[in-house]
Amino acid sequence: MRYFFILLSSLFVLLTLESCTSSKALAKKAKKLEDSNQYQPASDLYYQSAKKNNTNIDALAGMKRTGSLVLNDYINTFNKAKLDEDYKKATYTYLDAEKYVAKIGQVNVKLEIPEFTQADFRIVKKLHLNKEYDEGLSLIETENFKDAELKFNEVYKFDKNFKEVKELRNIAFLEPFYRKAITYQDNKEYRKAYESYQRILKRLPDYKDTKDNCEYVLRAGQINLVVLDDKEKTKYSLYTNNIKNYTINSIIKKNDPFIKIVDRENLENILTEQELAVSGLVSEENGVEVGALTGAQYALSIKVTNYSVVNKPAKKGVYDGFSKYSEKYFNKTTQKNEYRTKYKKVKYSTYYASRQVNFTVNYRIISLKTGEIITSEMLEKKKESTVNYLVYKGNVKNLYASSNGKVNTSYTEHNRLVELSNSSKTLDTKENLTKKLYKNISQEISNITIREFSK
């Protein structure tokens, strides 16, 4: 334990010496720069030197000397910008001086900006804000909202309560969106109008009549959609019904405010009472009536026309291989018992099997006002599960393939056999494959439906 503490102390001393050496080297470089009147880079090196060793007197003294000169440069630049009435430059120069004072304060070198300069800054900052504010007002009057927003943002950054800057900043940002939304609304591009109004509402909920307009375009552009049930019962009706339910859930999860699913149970009651039959298509004669009764404008018809499962039983293949083993022998040269690697011929088997589920689905989007088919497509989808594995009675870690009757010691080929032996031997069930297809098909139908109504 005593030796451990000695070692630790020695390490600490070495690190301290290295730090001091580095600090001293930086201070020497800084002094050379200082002697050549390069005060800013000299102060930077003095700062680094003091950061490495805060007891380096030369670094701290040099930091104090050059720091005072650098601060004076900031103050002189500030005063000149003030006299030139460049209030923005004066403001930011003063702020840079404050940052510099705070920075060197981290190494305990204390410098202060004179009180009269601080007082001048308060006046200059106010003049800067007034100028930016007035320029912003002029830009608003000429409807240059983008540049006006930059001016008001500058004021807002320094003083959130400066005159009417909050309101004007919002106007400069929001008015372009508002005008664009009004144009979209007038052109009946309700989705685009809604997006612009939403942008406004996120920033300022009570901007002009945005809230009322947003509600209007949503009502005007909303699509009421009913997903029809197929009255013609077939051996695929169960699959049709499941895909419909998955599709309804998928559309709802999209959370598209413009697409509303009409309650199918209410539709069924209405159709029963009115003795209207819908078999996946809506005729021009009863389409108008269905739409009027349900409030729906469009119908989505889905019908499975084929469902099949193709099972391919495991196909076996038998192959020649080699099993590695160690053989003990007496080495006459070394006069010792040693081991050598040898291979013996073996047999191993591979199996390949597959199961594939196939769907053919017809879907249509139909106008309930005219009976017109808006979109019609046939989807042919499949989902397959395969297994390909190896069976070997011995230790597969010692198994190697045969190549032209000779052992193939390739690392890649050996690993392939090991991986095959560890591969799954169980096919995915028909039920799981079918469920995966439900999800895929319904997702595609919902995407196409939403895309169709987003044009």
pLDDT per residue as tens digits for the range 160-208: 999 999 999 999 999 999 999 999 999 999 999 999 999 999 999 999 9
* DSSP at 318: E
Same domain membership, residue 101 and residue 10: yes
Same domain membership, residue 166 and residue 207: yes
Same domain membership, residue 178 and residue 101: no
Q: How far apart are CA 341 and CA 324, in angstroms?
A: 7
Same domain membership, residue 183 and residue 88: no
Rounded to the nearest angstrom, the gap between the alpha carbon of residue 142 and the centroid of all alpha carbons in its chain is: 39
pLDDT of residue 292: 52
Same domain membership, residue 159 and residue 211: yes
Q: Is residue 76 part of a domain?
A: yes
CATH number for the domain that contains residue 195: 1.25.40
Same domain membership, residue 158 and residue 84: no
Residues 224-248: pLDDT tens digits?
999 887 777 889 999 999 999 999 9
Q: What is the dihedral of CA 188, 190, 195, 197, to 10 degrees?
A: 70
* DSSP at 234: -
- Report the Cα–Cα distance between both ends of the chain, in Å, rounded: 79
Q: Is residue 429 part of a domain?
A: no
pLDDT of residue 301: 92
Which amino acid is it at 159? D
pLDDT of residue 283: 46
Same domain membership, residue 179 and residue 137: yes
pLDDT of residue 71: 96
Is residue 207 within 8 A of residue 279, CB to CB? The reply is: no
Is residue 215 within 8 A of residue 195, CB to CB? The reply is: no
Give the pair of three-digit tokens for residue 222: 């909303």
Same domain membership, residue 88 and residue 25: yes
pLDDT of residue 268: 53
Same domain membership, residue 100 and residue 15: yes
| Rounded alpha-carbon distances, angstroms, from residue 27 to 49, 57, 72, 191, 395 | 6, 10, 22, 66, 69
- Ranges of the chain whose pLDDT falls below 50: 1-19, 270-271, 273-285, 287-288, 293
Same domain membership, residue 201 and residue 144: yes
Q: How far apart are CA 368 and CA 282, in angstroms?
A: 7
User: CA angle 148-149-150, nearest 5°?
Assistant: 90
pLDDT of residue 424: 95
Q: Work out how many domains the chain is built from and give that number.
A: 2
**Domain range holding 98?**
2-113
State the pTM of this model. 0.69
pLDDT of residue 371: 85
Q: Which of 172, 203, 221 is the last residue of a domain?
A: 221
pLDDT of residue 264: 55
Same domain membership, residue 99 and residue 8: yes
Same domain membership, residue 108 and residue 6: yes
For the chain, how long is the longest CA-to-CA vector? 106
Q: Is residue 212 part of a domain?
A: yes
Q: Is residue 151 part of a domain?
A: yes
